[in-house]
Structure 1
Amino acid sequence: MPNAPTRRAALALLAAAALPCGLARAQDEVAPATLVGLDALLDEAASLDALETVLVSRRRTVLAERGYGGAAPDRPTNIKSASKTIVSALVGIAIERGLLEGVDQPVAPLLRDKLPADPDPRLYRITIGHLLTMRAGLERTSGANYGSWVASRDWVRDALARPFVDEPGGTMLYSTGSTHLLSAILARESGRSTRALAEDWLGAIDGFRITGWETSPAGIHLGGNQMAMTPRSLLAFGETYAAGGRAADGTRVVPESWIAQSWMPRTRSRFTGDGYGYAWFAREIGGRDVRYAWGYGGQMLYVVPDLDLVVAMTSDETRPSARTGYRDRLHALLGDIVAVVSRE
Structure 2
Amino acid sequence: MRFTPSRQIAGALALGLLGACSPAPAPDRAQAQTTDAPAPAAVQSQGLDPVAMARVVEQARALPNLHAVIVARDGEVLAEHRLRGAGLDQPVNIKSASKTVLSALVGIAIDRGVLTGPDQKIAPLLAANLPSGGDPRLQEIEVGHLLSMQAGLGRTSGQYYGAWVTSPNWVRHALARPFDDDPGGRMIYSTGTSHLMSAALTRAAGASTHTLARDWLAQPLGVAIPPWLRDPQGIYFGGNDMMMSPRDLLRFGELYRLGGEIDGRRIVSAEWIEASWTPRTRSPWSGHDYGYGWFTKQAAGHPVHFAWGYGGQMLFVVPSLDLTVVMISDPSPRPREESHVSQLHALLDAGIIPAAIAGERRPPSPSGG
* TM-score normalized with structure 1 length: 0.90
How far off its partner does 1:75 sit? 2.1
1:45 to 57, 60, 64: 60
Query: Retained in 2: the 8 A contact 1:176–1:225?
Result: yes
The separation in 2 between residues aligned to 1:142 and 1:151, in whole angstroms, is 13
Please, what is the CA RMSD of the aligned residues?
Answer: 2.5
Provide the residue aligned with 1:255 in structure 2.
269
Provide the residue aligned with 1:112 in structure 2.
127
Aligned residue identity for 1:9: A
Query: Retained in 2: the 8 A contact 1:187–1:194?
Result: yes
What's the CA shift string for 1:145-171, capped at 9, x where partnerless? Answer: 111101011111110011111111111
Provide the residue aligned with 2:302 in structure 1.
288
Superposed, which structure 2 residues align to 1:247-326 within 5 Å? Answer: 247=262, 249-319=263-333, 324-326=338-340
Query: Retained in 2: the 8 A contact 1:283–1:290?
Result: yes
Query: Could you say if the C-alpha distance between residues 330 and 319 of structure 1 is closer, same or farther in structure 2, counting changes exceeding 3 Å?
Result: same
The separation in 1 between residues aligned to 2:307 and 2:219, in whole angstroms, is 21
Query: Retained in 1: the 8 A contact 2:52–2:354?
Result: no
The separation in 1 between residues aligned to 2:179 and 2:153, in whole angstroms, is 4
* TM-score normalized with structure 2 length: 0.84
The separation in 1 between residues aligned to 2:211 and 2:99, in whole angstroms, is 16
Aligned residue identity for 1:254: V
The reply to whether residue 18 of structure 1 matches residue 21 of structure 2 is no
Query: Retained in 1: the 8 A contact 2:218–2:225?
Result: no
Superposed, which structure 2 residues align to 1:1-344 within 5 Å? Answer: 9=12, 18-19=31-32, 30-31=45-46, 34-35=49-50, 37-247=52-262, 249-319=263-333, 324-335=338-349, 336-343=351-358, 344=360
Query: Retained in 2: the 8 A contact 1:297–1:320?
Result: no
The separation in 2 between residues aligned to 1:310 and 1:205, in whole angstroms, is 19
What stretches of structure 2 of length at least 5 have no aligned partner? 1-9, 20-24, 34-41, 361-369
The separation in 2 between residues aligned to 1:38 and 1:88, in whole angstroms, is 32
Query: Retained in 1: the 8 A contact 2:111–2:268?
Result: no
Give secondary structure in 2 for the equivalent of 1:340: helix
The separation in 1 between residues aligned to 2:324 and 2:101, in whole angstroms, is 16
Give secondary structure in 2 for the equivalent of 1:146: helix
Aligned residue identity for 1:59: D
The separation in 1 between residues aligned to 2:225 and 2:87, in whole angstroms, is 16
Give secondary structure in 2 for the equivalent of 1:41: helix
Query: Could you say if the C-alpha distance between residues 135 and 17 of structure 1 is closer, same or farther in structure 2, counting changes exceeding 3 Å?
Result: closer
Query: Retained in 1: the 8 A contact 2:150–2:187?
Result: yes
Query: Retained in 2: the 8 A contact 1:55–1:73?
Result: no
Give secondary structure in 2 for the equivalent of 1:57: strand
What stretches of structure 1 of length at least 5 have no aligned partner? 1-6, 21-26
Query: Could you say if the C-alpha distance between residues 332 and 322 of structure 1 is closer, same or farther in structure 2, counting changes exceeding 3 Å?
Result: farther
Aligned residue identity for 2:106: V
The separation in 2 between residues aligned to 1:205 and 1:51, in whole angstroms, is 30
What's the CA shift string for 1:244-288, capped at 9, x where partnerless? Answer: 0012x1100111000000000000000111100001001112332
Query: Retained in 1: the 8 A contact 2:154–2:179?
Result: yes
More helix by share: 1
Is 291-300 or 203-212 further displaced after alignment?
Answer: 203-212
What's the CA shift string for 1:179-231, capped at 9, x where partnerless? Answer: 11111111111111101101111135544211341111111100010111101
Query: Could you say if the C-alpha distance between residues 101 and 279 of structure 1 is closer, same or farther in structure 2, counting changes exceeding 3 Å?
Result: same
Counting matched residue pairs gives: 331
Query: Could you say if the C-alpha distance between residues 91 and 322 of structure 1 is closer, same or farther in structure 2, counting changes exceeding 3 Å?
Result: farther
How far off its partner does 1:18 sit? 1.5
Aligned residue identity for 1:170: G
